[in-house]
Amino acid sequence: MMVGSWLNFVKGKDKTPSTSEAKENRIHFLDEGKEEIKNYRVYDCFGYELALNGRPYILSSGVWYEVDADFLLRVHKYLTSQIKAPGFTLPKWDQAEDEDEYNARCGKLASFLLGTTHTEITCGVSVFRVFRGTKAVLGVS
C-alpha cells in the first residue's frame, strides 16, 4: 500500500491523517469474485525506520522494535559485501512526482531495465530478494 493513497483516502473523507485514523482504517483483500479474504489495519501495513537518541527503531506489522545497533551494522556490512553496486545512477527525484510516477519514469530508462536483477539472501528460514539499483527488498518465506 502506498502511504499517499491512504492520505488521499483520509483527506477525501474530510479527516486528518493520524495514528488513530491509521488504526481505524482497514485494507481489505479480495479474491477474484470480490469476496473479502482478509483485512488489516492500515497501521499494520506501514513500515518505518527511525533513530531516536542514537538508537535505531523499526515499525513492522503495527509493532515498534528497537534494533540492536551492532546487529544492524553486521547486516549492512553483509549486504554491501554481497550486492554489487549497479553500473548506473538512478535519476534524481524532482519532489513533484509521487513514488509511482518516479518508478514509472525510471522504468522507461534502458539502464534501469538492465539493473533490475536481484540477489537472493537467505537469513534463517526467510529468503530476501534485494534488487540492485534500488532500495527494494522483497521478503519471501
State pLDDT tens for residues 71-106: 888 988 988 888 877 677 778 888 888 888 888 888
Domain ranges of the chain: 1-67, 82-141
Q: Which residues pair with 27 in a beta bridge?
A: 40
Give the whole-number percent of the chain exceeding pLDDT 90: 18
Q: Of 136, 82, 96, 140, which is closest to residue 112 (Cα–Cα)?
A: 136
- Categorize the per-residue pLDDT at 52 as very low, low, confident or very high, splitting at 50, 70 and 90: very high
| Cα-trace Rg, the chain | 18
pLDDT tens per residue across span 19-46 = 999 999 998 888 888 888 999 999 998 8
Could you identify the residue written with the cell 485514523?
Answer: 21
| Higher-confidence position of 82 and 123 | 82
